Amino acid sequence: MIKVIILDLDGTVYKGNQILPYVKAAVENLLGRGKKVIYLTNASMKTREEIKEKLIQMGLYSTKLGHIYSSGYGTARYIKCKFPHSTVYAITEGGLIQELEDQAIKISDGTEPSVDLVAVGIDSQLTYEKLKAGFRYIENGAKFIASNADKKYPLEEENVPGAGSIVSALEYSTGVKPFVIGKPSTYLLELISKELKVSKKEMLLIGDNLLTDILCAKKFGCKNIFILGGVHKKSDIKKLKIKPDKTIKNLGELALD
């Protein structure tokens, strides 16, 4: 039986600052039936606290910090668990920096001769000097971690280059592949399973992106639902050869056994 419903955010719950139709009613219905609702995002720019406040302002009043899993939080948890006493050089801003600080992880300013890890997220203040420092550290043996490898990051008025553009530059120049936290990597689903103490069979992921949301769920082995109106169309299922368990037009069509 499904106990935890995991909702992608942008394109599934909201677009920009607008909550999508039927979302509030669907979430209230799920909670009323004893289901736990979790929000999952590849975005690393905003903190979980900021995401929580945004959801509450949209009318999802029951949202708690522990209901939100971002790639920034996942990156910080991964480093804290796997490399607890490490020094990290972070090419990023905002949310990921705050998540690293919240986990008491030492962050380098780029002047140290060496660090243990290089963590990359989206960085609107990216400079060549930051790339050089990240390149130097990885070349000297630092582990390379990416919060996500998204090509694009959606803003209100336009799409901009995502964290993947920075990740790709370092991967290409160093020849080192990063460990990626965000979807379609299964790490965040593994973290949810571990922290909420639920099995794959008790989890359902709903999202609008076949290449991240649905592929992630299929790799992990949990149920999935593809929601239309976002990144991909129904025709993309055949084109990309990624078949979801179910396809719906909106969350108003959501029905669970």
CA 9 centroid distance within chain: 9
* Distances from the Cα of 232 to the Cα of 21, 30, 100, 226, 239, angstroms: 18, 25, 32, 9, 11
Which helix H or strand E contains 87, and what residues bound it?
A: strand 87-91
Closest CA to 146 of 115, 123, 114: 123
Print pLDDT tens along the chain (257 aa).
Answer: 899 999 999 889 998 888 999 999 999 999 999 999 999 999 888 899 999 999 999 999 999 999 999 999 999 999 999 999 999 999 998 889 999 999 999 999 999 999 999 999 999 999 999 999 999 999 999 999 999 998 877 776 777 888 999 999 999 999 999 999 999 999 999 999 999 999 999 999 999 999 999 999 999 999 999 999 877 888 899 999 999 999 999 998 886 65
> Which class is 4-42+183-253 in CATH?
alpha beta
Whole-number Å distance between alpha carbons of 127 and 60: 38
Q: Where in the chain is the domain with CATH 3.40.50.1000?
A: 4-42+183-253, 75-180
What are the backbone angles phi and psi of residue 72, rounded to the nearest 5°? Answer: -65, -45
Structural tokens at position 122:
């989206």
Note the CATH architecture for domain 75-180.
Answer: 3-Layer(aba) Sandwich (3.40)
Burial environment of residue 241 by CB neighbours within 10 A (0 to 12, 13 to 18, 19 or more)? exposed
Closest CA to 212 of 239, 192, 232, 234: 232
Beta strand ranges found along 102-181 (DSSP E): 106-108, 117-120, 143-146, 152-154, 159-161, 179-180
Query: What pTM does this model have?
Result: 0.92
